[in-house]
Each structure stands twice: as structure tokens, then as C-alpha cells.
Structure 1
Amino acid sequence: MVGYCKKLRELQIQEWKGYYINYKLMKKKVKRYVEQMEVGAQNRHNVLRDFSMLLDNQIEKIVLFLLEQQGVLAHRLSNIGQDHHTLFQQSNSINISELQEAYRDVGRDLLRLLNFVEMNAIGLRKILKKFDKRFGYKFTDYYVKTRANHPYSQLRQVFRHVGIGAVVGVLSHGLADLQDLQQSLGSYISIYDQPSYTHQDPILDSIKEAVARLSNSTNFLQFLGRHAFIMKEELPFPSEDHIVDERYHFMSLLLNLANTFLYMVNTYIIVPTADNYTLSLGAAASVCGVVIGMMAVAQVFSSVYFSAWSNRSYLRPLIFSSIVLVVGNTLYALAFDMNSIVVLLMGRLFCGLGSARAVNRRYISDCVPLKLRMQASAGFVSASALGMACGPALACLLQTNFRIYRFTMNQDTLPGWIMALAWLVYLLWLWICFKEPAHENQGNLVLYHADTEPVVQVAVGNERTQPLLMNSEEKELDEDGEEENDNTEETKKPVTSIVVAYKLLTPSVKVQLFVYFMLKYAMEIILAESSLITEYYFIWTTSNVSIFLACLGLTVLPVNIVVGNYISNMFEERQVLLTSEIMVCIGLLLSFHIMIPYSVTQYVGSALITFVSAEVLEGVNLSLLSKMMSSRLSRGTFNGGLLSTEAGTLARVIADGTITISGYFSESKLLNTTLLPALLICISSIIATCYSYNSLY
């Protein structure tokens, strides 16, 4: 079988072959440094200096070629501009068409150049990651700190595509001007007065996408989609995308999103009433932490078996999930009349065992075409956010008390009955409408496309060329080994155990997983203990708690719109990450009850700061994780997405357990005793982020 990277190398732009980063050379250098340091022939200082000089030379080669090609494009645009200037007095429609095509030719060559820069940026990130894999943080920390922020940094020129914007501006203005003249509008509206002109030519749309990808610019859908940790396949072949198109079925996607929505409703519908329910069964109110947390405990295990099951089927695990959730919610509702806290806990345990979010993500990743995958990912997160808001809001509407035969219907039991009925209806809908896609090869299914690097095919005439890494990783065995092997079957082999998956994590990835743990812990503390805290301090009713939680859930989409469209485009992801962690810390500090009377304003304000900051943090955290994780963790059962899910679920379990234990000691000290661990974990994550800051590049 021809190696995957070898197939790509055959498609690179041959005339630019000598200007690509020599990844193979640097990979061998890294291997040699390791061998020399093991026998004491090299010290760390000399290795850093020697490899830095080698990398500097590679970057200088790239930058000088980039500047040279920009000059060529600028000269061509200058010549076209002279013809453009004389055109106004001739009004020759043929000349207009010729000039438009000339501008588009420049645009196509600019796309080639952008992709050249992109491939070299990928190579730089890969070699920095490989060096860190072998030496820890030391090299990336040193290299980025000394190069990235220097006023004459060539590294920044590669990652920030200096000068490209001016070329794009000339192309946009010229094409918009010619379109205006061709349509005999006579208004000659400037692109600066009407920016939409810049999107009226397909070549400009392609350039805009390439620039956005290279500069890591985002929009709302992209930022929101990151929360799902479903990254679109960046290196597709047309035949592979055709297979995905054949497997796509809109109603099946809708059913997956509905499953996501209902599960989040199921999770949060009981939060406002869980403390009252446990009291009615003779347990302490703080046992609500265990009741809420039982779902997360079961999800630790269900995430694994559902992830494995989705290798073979999507329909069967969804059917099983729905049946288990019907049973779980029924048990939850029956616990009141049976006067059994054990039945209550068993009901929530069954609900957690029915968590099919791994299947929902897997379906989007495997069966939704690339052009729709980011929208579907954003839909997944939106469904989750909407379910999170609708759960407490629905609980607010269930303030009643009556009996049907021997079954009590009140604010405690109705959430269980309502959700059991909802899952039963969903099960029938699923059975009738879901279309099981064909699994052409179980081993090749990809779940969380972490660590895939962007490559975009560029149309040049009727042919498609693709700039690639010179001498790229066609012989790399895996992230751990340096054995040369042109057959890439080993590199595609999915991870077979959680232990192997953990060994593939670099220190910076471990830090990001810890950050994810922290934000989920803080969010769970705020949400799960809300009914206890508000009842103790403010004597809030169930309706008040429900409205408060629903309002928190409704902040998710507006916050992501602001961050996705503006903040993430103004600052680096690592800057937003660290700032968000600090804001979570501030929110937690403001939540403590110390000396002065505790007010509604203090509680609501601090909870809002903590929750919103954690939401912002989740997006940038998962985005960085997707870039830093090993490519082997993008496939199979034990993938990067599963690791992050387990980290978040474990955080929720521990947070809910903390609430229960703290409540047993003293309800008056519940707030401070639960916030203290969250604050310590948050401070630890900030310190860890600062320590690894320069490796988040």
C-alpha cells in the first residue's frame, strides 16, 4: 500500500519544492539529539542553541521566498492596474472580461502562496510539538519566547502572513470596480463603503477562507462548534468526502441533535427540586449532590461503551440509550411513592448509563459532509445549551400536586414522568425515521479529528494541486517512536487502551485537560448547589431557582457569538485562555460569604461571572486541545474526545460528592467549603497554564 504522506508528497507544487520546510531533516536531528544526550555527548543548552539556529535558517528560507513571491504578485497587479486605469475611457466589455480573468489568475496564485505558507506553518508546529514530546516544555518555551515577540520576528511573519492583506485589498477593489463598470451601474461604490463587494467573486471567497484559516480567525459557528470537540476533517480526499455524502441523512442528524437536547433537559430538569425530593424521602438536603452526581458517575462508564459500540452501529446504541432512559426516569418518579432513596439513586444511575453523547458526536464526525460538519457541530452545542436552559424552565412549570391511581404527580416526580414519556416518544420516532449508515470499514472511522492540520486544494485551471510538506512524515511510525516506515497503517491504528492514550499526552495537553477539569468542576459547583444555597440564604422557591438556572443556560449562545466573532479574532487563544481562567478565579472569590451579609446581587453576579467565563474558557480550551493532541487520538474508542469527556465527567462527580460531604458537616458553611476546593483547583490551573504558556503556540 502506498503511504498516506507519500501520496500527498506527489501532489506538492514541484517548482517550489526547495522552499518547503525540511521536516525530515529536523526530525532526524531531534532523534540524534536524544541519542547524544543519552550518552552524555550533548547538553541541553547546546541542543537548544543548535536546533534554534537550524530552525531559524528554515524559517528565513520560507520568509524570503514568501516576500519574493509577494513582490511578483504586486508587480503583476501593478501592470493590470495600468490597463484597468485606461479601461474607463474605452468601456470595452471584452477588455473588462480579460481584466477580470487577469485578476483571478493573480488570486489563484495567491491561493497557492497562502497554502505554501500554511503547510510550512504546519511543519513548524509539528516539529515544535515533536521536540517537546522528547524534551518537555523547554524548546518551545524558549524558542517562542525569544522569537515570537521580537520586533524582527520571522516566526511571526510565517504565522501572521505579513503583506498578504494588501494584495487581497487590491484584488478585491479591482474586481468590485470591474463588476460595477460591467453592470453599467455608474455609482463606482468603493469596497470600503460596501464591504459585501469583497464576497461577490468566488476566488475572493476562497482567499478569505485561506487567510482566516492561516490566521486562526473564527466566527460564531466555528467557535461554538469547538465546544463539541468535533473538528472537521482538514485533509480529505474527494473520494472520501463522496462516501460521507452517501452516508448523510438529514433526519438521522436531527434525531441525534434531539437526543442531545433531551439528555441535557434530563440532566438539569431535576436540579431545582432535587433537595426537596431527598428531604421528602428522609435524607439530608445535601444528598441532592449525590442524586445529581449519580448521572455523571454512570456516564464515566457509558461514554466508553457507547464510544466502542458506535464503531459498529449508530441506531442500536441510540435505541438502547432511549430504553435505559425510559427505565431510569420511571424509577426516579416511582421513588416518591415507594419512599426509597435507593430507587431514586438507581433511577439517576440508569439515566447516566443511557448517555449517548459519544454516539451523537460520532455520527456528526463520521456521517456529516465537510461542508455541513461545522454547522452540525454548532447545532450539537446549541442543542445542549438549549436543553440546559429548558430543563430548569420546564421544572418551573411543574408546580402542581395530584394523583393518578396510586402515582403521585408533583414537582418532585413530574420531571421523571415527563422525561420518561419524552424518551418513549423519541424511541418511536427513532425506530421509524433513523437510517443506519453503512460502515464500510470500522477501523477507518474517525471520531474527534484532533491534531489534523489544514490542507486546502487549490483549483488551477482544470487541475488541482496541493502544496505539501517537503519530505514530510511519510516514514514516521507514531508520536512515540522514530522508526522509519513508509507504510502508514501503524500510524492510523487507533489507540487500544486508556493507558496507551495517556502515554500519548504531552505535558501541555495534560495541562489543558486539567483546565477542562477545572472549568467543569466550577460550573458543577455553581449549578448543583444552587437550590441549597438560595434556599438557605434567600429562601428562594423552586420557581426562583428554575428561572435563575434557565437564565444562566440562556447566556451560552450570546456569549459565544461575542467571543466567536470578536474576542477570538482580537487576541491569541492562549491569551483568552489565561484571561478566562483568571475571570473564573475572580468569580469564585466573589462568591465566598465572609463577614458581611450575603446578598442576592453578590450571589447572582459572582455566579454569572464564573459561569460565563467558564463557557468562554471551554471554547478556547478545546480548540487548543484539538491542535495539540496526537493524531492517533483522533480515532477509535479511546480518542481525545473521550479523554476530555472523562475529565469533565470526573470533575462533575467530584464536585457533586463535595457538595454532599460538605452539607453533612454544616449547611451554614456549605458555600465556603465547596468553593474552597474549586478556588484551589482554579489557582493551580492558572499556575500550570503560565508554566506551559509558550508551548500553547
Structure 2
Amino acid sequence: MFSSSSLCHDASNFWIKMVAFGKKLKEIQIQEWKGYYINYKLMKKKVKLYANQIEAGALDQQQVLKDFSQMLDNQIEKIVLFILEQQGLLATRIAQLNEQQDFLQEHPDIPKISELQEAYRAVGLDLLKLLHFVEMNAIGLRKILKKFDKRFGYRFTDYYVKTRANHPYSQLQQVFKHVGLGAVVGAISRNLADLQDRHGSHLSIYDHPALPLQDPVVDSIKSAVDRLTHSTNFLYFLGQHAFTMQEELPTTAEEHIDDHRYHFMSLLLNLASTFLYMVNTYIIVPTADDYSMSLGAAATVCGIVIGVMAVAQIFSSVYFSAWSNKSYFRPLVFSSIVLFVGNVIYALAYDLNSLAILLIGRLLCGFGSARAVNRRYISDCVPIKIRMQASAGFVSASALGMACGPALAGLLQTKFRIYNITFNQDTLPGWVMALAWLFYLIWLWISFREPAHEAVVINVPEEAHADSNYQQEASTSVTATQATSARSAAAAASVGNDNLEKSLAQPLLLSTAKNEQDEEDDRECDESEEASEESSRPANSLASAYRLLTPSIKVQLLIYFMLKYAMEILLSESSVVTTYYFGWTTSRVSIFLACLGLTVLPVNVVVGSYISNMFEDRQILLASEIVVLLGILLSFQIFIPYSVPQYVCSGLIMFVSAEVLEGVNLSLLSRVMSSTLSRGTFNGGLLSTEAGTLARVVADGTITLAGYLGESKLLNATLLPSLLICVASIIATCCTYNSLY
């Protein structure tokens, strides 16, 4: 006899198991509902036929759009009508149970109350099946839209979403937003909560939405609903910044990471590495211009001093990502040693009076960047149930390090000498960070536990057979009427699908022989394409990863480049600009930069808890880009004297909107990016890291080049590229807006 908790766990993980065995969408369908799923194979075949016909001149673009739209409309309508039918059956069962509950309120009977709870849970399990049905179809729709776009260059998704998604009678919204199912979820949640013993409490789920001791069925339903709606909270939104890539559905290996692979202290060390590296990056920003001048260079050379670390990080991200395929401990040790040496060299450059030594020290710090390992550890070694918390911890550590770096630099305002070694505001950041990395290295050596890199051997036939048995057991909770209705309707739908498939076999070109050959090629292409698409084999080079980038992904990477560029310009030149215009000291610059860093978490609380649930991600994306543009425009120094309020307000607007943009951008990027990029060395996380790092390199180089024009023109000269890139990203977003669905 299984508990409701274990049954619920099995039900919610059934589909995950099937995906883990490499099953295609068609093979993880509920058999009695088979005729109601989207016919992905048929539409994929149709896409190839369209491509051949367009090449042959037999069809034009408008005919393709009209024909495929009608076909997709029919598929969606079939799905939606079935959802409504099942929703009605569930509502009827709940209404009958509600009558029993009313009777029991007047005549309490503990055994019958328990039976009623189990009956509600049975309805909840069937609702969970329906939610998984909707999820499978949503994935199928997104996949076919991606395939069509890849073949025809984003002509279809833009047209289809624009005409269907926002229509008052939209059926597309029924699939992607599961309109109406929320009422069923609410009914089950409320009634199960009311039946629980709350020790005299009369609170309902409406009085207190986060009541403790939620029923496991309700928790599973809530998780399924969240996956469908992409509804967010602060933790989820913050975790998106980490961009720890995952499959569309987690695998069993991800769901059940063994305890011997997950180690809390190792995760803590991983986050500590993230924090220290961000402190290391930004601790020199307030003093880089002063350090450069003390070595005989111009103040704007601070751009190179700050940016050379990012240059090295472009390369270190690749080899650290590759190294993490085999180990996590060794790359973290290597990173700590290199960062220790790099900071010592950076500090000694003052007494050696050498700008080259200074740059070598910062270059070594960049080569010690282990952020790729930090991300990879969270993706591979943290159980999925706490992965979002770990991702949020990664982002919080980064934000805290970004704030602490400048603040710590502001505190190191002293000067003394020991054995001919100078300790002042320029060299102390290097010495302090060297000491910090030495302590970290010792802690790492003592406490870190290397997770086992082991291959998971899966017996597909036995597990698939076991899961098919479970599927039959799970389906017994459906009423006889429901099953009969489903079978008859499925038969009718199957006939319709068969007829539609047969129609594709009709002569489309003149030669029958050629048609047969095309059908044979079609079949082979289907098999190869399906195998390549559903395979979890990662990209093995930057070139192969780049080939997987669709125009929509490229636009998202452009946006990421833009926001990192704008933020780096603001932060890196802050010391030079504020000294020239306002005469700020190092301490004031440090306070300003620390305050900017401290806005990260509050902003994410507001956006993650409220704004992201009120608007679509693509709406927030476009609005944030426009606000970044506004911040850049307000930063220009034109005609009127430049003032502190103008600089602070424009910088705050630019930084905060860029932070909002980053979370939404990475959320959309993870949604439109191919699942092939979720693993391996050249994964989506590496691509986004490279885009952001490249932006920092270009921004710091821009500051140094603009320095040749003089400090009076530095501000406008560096803001102009930011303005142009921001305008380009807004235009690109508008062009691909309807593909971000």
C-alpha cells in the first residue's frame, strides 16, 4: 500500500523518468489520450515538404503560412477541446465530492473524512496528469515553432503568435497559460486544506496562501502549474541570473542526485569562490586611475588595468569549463593559487614602478576566474529541489562581492612601509585579496569533497516496462465514463490524423517515382533529425555551439552584451569621471559603487515577487531596454554644467534597469536556447559568460581609447557606443518580439 505522498511523487516524476530514457514526446504520451496530443511528427514532415516545394517553386511564402497555420490551428483546437472536456469531468467529480463534504460537516465521521481526502487526492492526481498533458503539448508546440523558424527564418512564429496569441478568442493561450485549469487547482487545494486538522484554526488558503503542511498532491500540482506559467518569485527570478542551464524537463539523474555527490560544505566553498572573485574584480575600481598615474600612465589607462582581467577570463572560462568535466576540486585549487600569485604581483608593481608588472598581475587574476566551474558545480552536483536556492546563492554572492569590493577599497585608506614594501590605498587591495585567497585555499584543501564523476547506466527496456505498468496503474483512477469517452474520441482523432498523414503521401510533384524517393528520404531525415534533436550529446566546439544559435538567441546574447557593456562603462570610468567633474575622493567613489551593488537584491525582490507576475517576460525585457536607454541619455553632458544629482540619478537608473534586464534576458534565453546547449563544455552558460566578458573587455578598451580625446570628452565618448548598441538591441528585440513566446 503506497501513501498519497509516494503516489504523488511517482506521478510527478513519471514523465521525468521517461525523458531520462531518451524517449521522444510521442513515446511519453498517456496511451488513452494519444489521439489528442500534438502530431509533432506529422508537422515536422510537413515543414520539410514545404521547404522542398518552395525550392521547386510550387509554393510561395503566403501559401505556406496559410496552410501551416490552418494545420496548427486544428492541432491546437483538438488539444484545447480535450482539455476543456477533461476539465469538465474533473469539475463534476469535485462537485460530487463537495456534496459529500457538506454532509460530513453536519454528520462528522473520521473514517469517511479520510476517504474523502483520498478521493480529493485522486482527483488531484488526475489533474496532475492533465497538467502534464498540457506541458507535453506546450513543449511540442514550441519545438515545432523553433523548427519552422530555423527552416524559414522567423517568418512563421512572428506571424502566428501576433495573430493568435493576443486574439480575444485565443486558443493558443489555453495551451501556454492553461486558462481555466486554475479554478480546478483552487478547488482541490481549498477543499483538501479545509479537511486538514488545523487545531482550531479557521484560516483558508485565501486568508493565508502559504499555509504550512500543504498536501503533497497540492505541492506537486503547484510545481506543475509553475512550470507551465513560468510564474516567478524572488528566489526563482534571482536564480535566473546564474543561468545554470537545464533541460526542458529534468532527468532522473538530476532529480535524484545521490547524497555522495552533494556536499553542503563544498557548495559553500563554491559560493565563497564566487564572492571572493567578485570582490577581487571590483576592489581596484576606485583606485585603478590613481595607481596608473603613480606609475607614470594616464588616468584613463585604468580601463586597461580593469579590462585585462576580463580579457584573460574569456580564455579561462573555456578551459575551466572543460576541466570541470573531470574535476571540480583541482580547478578550484589552481584558481586559488593563480589568484594568490596574481594579487601579490599586482601589489608589488608599485615598488617595482612597472605598469607591465601591474598588468601581468591583473592578467593572472583573470586566468584564475573559476566562475564556469562555480556554475557547473551547481548544475551538476546540487539536487534539483534546492538548485534554484543554490543559483540564487550564486547570484547573491556575486552581488555582495560587487558591493563589498569598492566598499573595502574605501576602508583601505592608509599608508605604511614594511621592509621596503609599500602598503597604501593602491597596493593594499592586492595584499588583502592575496591573503584572502591563501586562507580560502587552506579551507578548500581541508573541507572540499570531490563529487564522483560516474556514468549512469540505464536499462531502458526494463525501466520502460516498469513505467508502462505504473502508467496503467495511475490511469485506473480515471472513471469508466471518462476512459470510454477518451477512447472513442482518441479513435476519432486518430482517424483524422491518419487521413491527414495519408494526404501527405498524395503526389505533390509530377513524378511518382520521385515522390516515393522523397518519402524514403523524408523517413530517413525524420529519423536523423529526431535523433539529433532529442539527443543529449553536447556541442563539442564553439563553432558547433554557434550553429545552434537561432536569430532569437543571438538577439538575447546581444542584449546581454549591451547591458554588461553599459554597466562596465558606468563602473570602470566612475573614478575618473567623478574626480574630473566633482573632485570626489576614493572614499566617495567607493561609497557610490557600493550603494549601486547593494541595489541588486532589493530590485530583484520587487521584480521577482511582483512585476514578473504582472507582465510577460518579453514586455519587461523591452521596457527595461527602454529605461536603460533613458539612463544613458540622461548621463550625457550637454550644454549645462554636469551635476552630482544628474550623474547619480542617471547612473542609478541605468544600473537598476540593467539588473532587471539581466534577469529577464537570461530567463528568456534559457527558454529559447536549444536543450543541446544545456550540458558539456560549450554550454549556454559559457556562451552567456563569454558574451558578458567580451562586453567588459570592449567597454574597458573604449575607456582607454576615449582617454586620448581628453578627460573633458571621456564621458560623452564612452556613452555614445552604449547608446548605439542599446538602440540596436531595442530594434532587434522588436524584430524578434513575437518569437519570444
Q: Does the pair score TM above 0.5?
A: yes
Over the aligned positions, Cα root-mean-square deviation in angstroms equals 2.7
Distance 1:539 1:4 in 2: 64
Q: Decide which of 189, 193, 197 is 1:176's aligned counterpart.
A: 193
**Paired residues of 2:555 and 2:733 also in contact (CA < 8 A):** yes
Task: Please give the alpha-carbon distance, in whole angstroms, between the structure 2 residues aligned to 1:281 and 1:597.
Answer: 32
Task: Figure out how many residues of one structure are paired with residues of the other and give that number.
Answer: 674
| Aligned-residue offset at 1:82 | 1.3
State the identity as a percent.
73
Amino acid at match of 2:170: S
- AA of the residue aligned to 1:440: E
Q: List aligned pairs for 1:545-624, cutoff 5 A.
A: 545-624=589-668
In the alignment, the residues of structure 2 paired with residue 406 and residue 37 of structure 1 have an alpha-carbon distance, to the nearest angstrom, of 78
- State whether structure 2 residue 319 is matched by structure 1 residue 305: yes
What is the alpha-carbon distance in structure 2 between the residues aligned to residue 253 and residue 458 of structure 1? 38
Give the C-alpha shift of residue 162 in structure 1.
1.2
Structure 1 match to 2:464? none
Structure 2 counterpart of 1:38, which letter?
A: E
Are 2:179 and 1:162 equivalent residues in the alignment?
yes
Q: Is the 1:172–1:198 contact (alpha carbons within 8 Å) kept by the matching residues of 2? A: no
- The corresponding residue for 2:359 is 345
Which shifted more, 167-176 or 127-136? Answer: 167-176
Aligned counterpart, 2:131 = 114
Instruction: Tell me what 1:405 maps to.
Output: 419
The reply to whether residue 140 of structure 1 matches residue 140 of structure 2 is no
Partner amino acid, structure 2, of 1:268:
Y
Question: In 2, are the aligned partners of 1:108 and 1:458 still within 8 Å (CA)?
Answer: no
* Aligned counterpart, 1:392: 406
Judged with a 3 Å threshold, the aligned counterparts in structure 2 of structure 1 residues 230 and 458 are, in CA distance, closer, same or farther, namely: farther
**Maintained 8 Å contact 1:20/1:62:** yes
Q: Deviations over 1:223-246 (max 9, x none)?
A: 111111114455344455444443
Deviations 1:255-306 (A, max 9, x none): 1111100000000000000000001110000000000000001111111111
> Deviation at 1:104?
1.3
After TM superposition, the structure 1 = structure 2 runs for residues 87-106 of structure 1, keeping only pairs within 5 Å, are: 87-106=104-123
State whether structure 2 residue 114 is matched by structure 1 residue 70: no
Return 5+ residue gaps in structure 1 as ranges: 445-455, 472-476
- 1:535 deviates by 0.5
Instruction: Supply the AA of the counterpart residue of 2:576.
Output: L
Using the size of structure 2 for normalisation, the TM-score is 0.87
Say if 1:237 and 1:341 are closer, same or farther in 2 by CA, change over 3 A: closer
Partner of 2:297: 283
Number of the residue aligned with 2:38: 21
Give the drift of 1:76.
Answer: 0.8
Query: What does residue 445 of structure 2 align with?
Result: 431
Q: Deviations over 1:453-505 (max 9, x none)?
A: xxx9999898699xxxx99xxxxx9xxx7553776699333222212211111
Contact 2:20 2:252 in 1 (8 A): no
TM-aligned CA distance change 1:367 to 1:600, over 3 Å? same
Give, in whole Å, the separation in 1 of the partners of 2:631 and 2:341.
39
Whether contact under 8 Å (1:302, 1:355) holds in the other structure is yes
Distance 1:412 1:443, change over 3 A: farther
User: What TM-score do you get using the length of structure 1 for normalisation?
Assistant: 0.92
SS at match of 1:408: strand
Q: Any stretches of 5+ residues in structure 2 without a counterpart?
A: 1-18, 459-466, 477-493, 498-520
* More divergent stretch after superposition (98-107 vs 335-344): 98-107
- Alignment match, 1:229: 243
CA separation of 1:674 and 1:240: change in aligned 2, threshold 3 A: closer
Q: For 1:499 and 1:519, how far apart are their aligned partners in 2?
A: 25
Aligned amino acid, residue 557 of structure 1: L
Hey, what's the Cα distance between the residues in 2 that align with 1:58 and 1:488?
25
How far is 1:638 from its partner?
1.5
Deviation at 1:34, TM superposition (A): 1.1
1:544 equivalent to 2:544? Answer no
Equivalent in 358, 380, 384 of residue 370 of structure 1: 384
Cross-structure match for 1:452: none
In the other structure, the counterpart of 1:450 is none
> Contact 1:303 / 1:357 at 8 angstroms: preserved in 2?
yes
CA distance in 2 between counterparts of 1:368 and 1:3 reads 18
Measure how far apart 1:196 and its partner are: 3.5
* Cα gap change, 1:160 to 1:239, in 2 (>3 Å): closer
Q: Which whole-Å CA distance do the structure 1 matches of 2:251 and 2:540 have between them?
A: 26
Distance in 1, Cα, partners of 2:603 & 2:256: 35
Equivalence for 1:47:
64
In structure 2, distance between residues paired with 1:21 and 1:588: 46
Confirm or deny: 8 A CA contact 1:229 1:626 kept in the other structure. yes
Q: 2:576 maps to which residue? A: 532
| Residue 515 (1) aligns with residue 559 (2) | yes
The Cα of 1:364 is off from its aligned counterpart by 0.9
Q: Give the one of 690, 695, 707 matched to 1:651.
A: 695
Q: Give, in angstroms, the shift of residue 344 of structure 1.
A: 0.6
* Cα distance in structure 2, aligned partners of 1:59 and 1:403: 75
Go from structure 1 to structure 2 and tell me whether the alpha carbon gap of 1:325 and 1:184 turns closer, same or farther (over 3 Å shift): closer
Structure 1's 462 and 401: CA in aligned 2 closer, same or farther, altered over 3 A? farther
Match of 1:448 in 2: none
- Cα offset, 1:352, TM superposition: 0.4
Which residue number corresponds to residue 8 of structure 2? none
Judge conservation of contact 1:245–1:367 (CA < 8 Å) in 2.
Answer: no
CA contact (8 A) 1:494 1:632 kept: yes
SS in 2 for 1:165: helix
C-alpha offsets along residues 156-199 of structure 1, whole Å, 9 cap, x if unaligned? 111111111211222223223222xx5673x6444322333486
Q: 2:331 pairs with 314, 317, 330, which one?
A: 317
Question: Pairwise mapping of residues 493-508 of structure 1 onto structure 2 (< 5 A)?
Answer: 493-508=537-552
2:423 partner SS: strand
Q: CA deviation at 1:349?
A: 0.5
The one of 415, 419, 422 aligned to 2:433: 419
Distance 2:267 2:701 in 1: 35
Structure 1 pair 442–104 and aligned structure 2 pair: CA distance change class (3 A): closer
> Are the equivalent residues in 2 in contact too, given 1:496–1:638 (CA < 8 A)?
yes
8 Å contact from structure 2 (residues 624, 661) kept in 1:
yes
Query: 2:713 aligned with 1:696, yes or no?
Result: no
